[in-house]
Amino acid sequence: MHLHILGICGTFMGGIAALARAAGHRVTGSDRNVYPPMSTQLASLGIDVIEGYEPDQLKLEPDVFVVGNVMSRGNSLVEAILDAGRRYESGPEWLARNVLGERWVLGVAGTHGKTTTTSLLAWILEHAGLAPGFLVGGVPLDFGVSARLGGGRHFVVEADEYDTAFFDKRAKFVHYRPRTAILNNLEHDHADIYPDVASIQRQFHLLLRTVPGAGRLVVNAADPHLAEVLGMGCWTPVERFTADASAPTDWRVVASGDSSYARYSVVHGARHVGDVEWGMLGRHNAENALAALVAARHAGVDEQAALEALRRFGGVRRRLEVRGTVGGVVVYDDFAHHPTAITTTLEGVRRTGGAGRVIAVVEPRSNTMKLGTHKAALAESLRGADRVFVYQSPEVRWDVTEAMAPLGALAIVHDDLARLTAALVAEARPGDRLVLMSNGSFGGLHDRLLAALAERAHA
């Protein structure tokens, strides 16, 4: 079968491309925004990517057009497909029909932490010898790819609540029908799709309706919005987890030594399960790990094997990934694009230690950020930084400078990437940690900055 994938360079659709190629299908695709890591992964698979969405792509004569949710009515290729009566379907629909089938699906849902938790869960199953398939919204460093078919019964999928396609406005995760489902947290996000938290909760409850009674829900015990979702009706056994000492729970993670969670203990009821020392930081990551352990246990993985896998976890690309160190200045790349995630990321960097400053560099790029939904919370989320630089792209219509006013002289806004790069180079000094946060490529700022710092160092 020949699939032509529209929006192929998104992490999800790029994963679909990898799975289809591994299953023996011919795969082509098109996109407007082509950048690593997905462009690199597609190139390594030998998948041809066409720039743009011209109607002449119908001449490829694929068996099916697989349409990403980035596509909308009015797009010239979409209109050509509809006018010609060509077969089309969504990525989640194709995945459910052609890959998930009779497999034991483990889905990871939540506003934050989905990619890391999905990666952790896939790694635990891999370490246990179960050879899982997976589809992750990023690139787990332990695997080097965002998706694979796997040789075992289990398939781990990042269960995104974003809408499926222009013709299917349900959340993607409604298609997956997991036997084991993790619900990490729930906040207002994707404001271009959901007007409020209640509308997202309704989608989460649709997910609950698909989990069988013989399955398992692994739920954050300290999240009130998830408690409300469960209160709407639940037909599946629930295991709760948290690091919150005050919340009633089945599973708890407890920091050892300090609050960095570089070392922690896992407790089940009154039973001490074991300890983990690893390369990740932050309470949120320890909770992600705990959720993954509980889900893996439901799939039959021994607790001690799961703990050993956590100790060996290598991390996820673009999740506090060090892109380089030049002249004592460390440049991080992080996917954070929601105020809660920005706060958490900065806390994680702060806990890495060192006397240098933490400098936050932010691109408000998500659809929710572009709409200004979180503009009132953005400044507060950045208070953990010693200096703040924000890029106002032409797509951001609200006044970022005004939103940063509560930070006073701590923050500066640029609307030009070249000037932003120059300002960062002028600001940075040995020991500083520059944290670049965007859910896109940030216009190649990481490489620009590292090159400029290297030029300064050799001047």
- Residue 366's Cβ-side half-sphere holds a number of Cα atoms within 13 Å equal to 24
pLDDT band at 315 (very low <50, low <70, confident <90, very high): confident
pLDDT band at 164 (very low <50, low <70, confident <90, very high): very high
Region of 267 on the Ramachandran plot (φ > 0 left; ψ -120 to 50 alpha; else beta): beta
Handedness of CA 249, 253, 258, 261 (dihedral sign): negative
| pLDDT tens, position by position, 381-394 | 999 999 999 999 88
Average confidence score pLDDT of the chain: 91
| pLDDT tens, position by position, 1-22 | 999 999 999 889 999 999 999 9
> Which of 151, 142, 150, 99 lies closest to 120 in space, CA to CA?
142
**Do the beta carbons of residue 9 and residue 42 sit within 8 Å?**
yes
Q: Quick check: pTM over 0.85?
A: no
**Phi/psi at 221 (nearest 5 deg)?**
-70, -20
pLDDT band at 191 (very low <50, low <70, confident <90, very high): low
**Do the beta carbons of residue 179 and residue 200 sit within 8 Å?**
no
Region of poorest pLDDT, from 5-19, 112-126, 152-166, 340-354: 340-354
pLDDT band at 265 (very low <50, low <70, confident <90, very high): very high
pLDDT of residue 376: 85
CA separation for the pair 9, 12 (Å, rounded): 8
The strand pair at 329-334 and 433-437 is best described as parallel
Q: Is the pLDDT of residue 194 over 80?
A: no
Q: Is the pLDDT of residue 370 over 80?
A: no
Q: Which residues of 377-413 are buried (b: 16+ CB within 10 A; e: fewer)?
A: ebbebbebbebbbbbbbeebeeebeebbeebeeebeb
Superfamily of domain 2-92: NAD(P)-binding Rossmann-like Domain (3.40.50.720)
pLDDT band at 41 (very low <50, low <70, confident <90, very high): confident
Q: Which residue has the higher pLDDT, 410 or 349?
A: 410
Q: Which overall architecture, per CATH, does domain 101-311 show?
A: 3-Layer(aba) Sandwich (3.40)
Q: Is the pLDDT of residue 30 over 80?
A: yes
Reduce the secondary structure of 370-411 to three states and give it as a string.
HHCCCHHHHHHHCCCCCEEEEECCCCCCCCHHHHCHHHHHHE
Secondary structure (3-state) at 277: strand
Region of poorest pLDDT, from 50-54, 79-83, 289-293, 438-442: 438-442
Our measurement of the distance from residue 385's CA atom to the centroid of its chain's CA atoms, rounded to an integer in Å, reads: 22
Average pLDDT on 75-91 reads 98
| Percent of the chain whose predicted confidence (pLDDT) is above 90 | 71
CA separation for the pair 119, 204 (Å, rounded): 21
Q: Which residue has the higher pLDDT, 149 or 373?
A: 149
CA separation for the pair 121, 75 (Å, rounded): 37
> Which of 37, 43, 254 lies closest to 27 in space, CA to CA?
43
pLDDT band at 39 (very low <50, low <70, confident <90, very high): confident
In sequence order, what DSSP letters do the residues of 45-74 get, joined into one string? Answer: TT-EEEES--GGGGGG--SEEEE-TT--TT
Taking the domains of the chain in order of start, what are their residue ranges? 2-92, 101-311, 321-457
- Residue 125's Cβ-side half-sphere holds a number of Cα atoms within 13 Å equal to 30
| pLDDT tens, position by position, 125-138 | 999 999 999 999 88
Is it true that 2-92 and 321-457 share their CATH fold? no
**Do the beta carbons of residue 368 and residue 342 sit within 8 Å?**
no
Q: Is the pLDDT of residue 37 over 70?
A: no
Choices 3.40.640.10, 3.50.30.10, 1.20.1250.20, 3.90.190.20: CATH for 321-457? 3.90.190.20
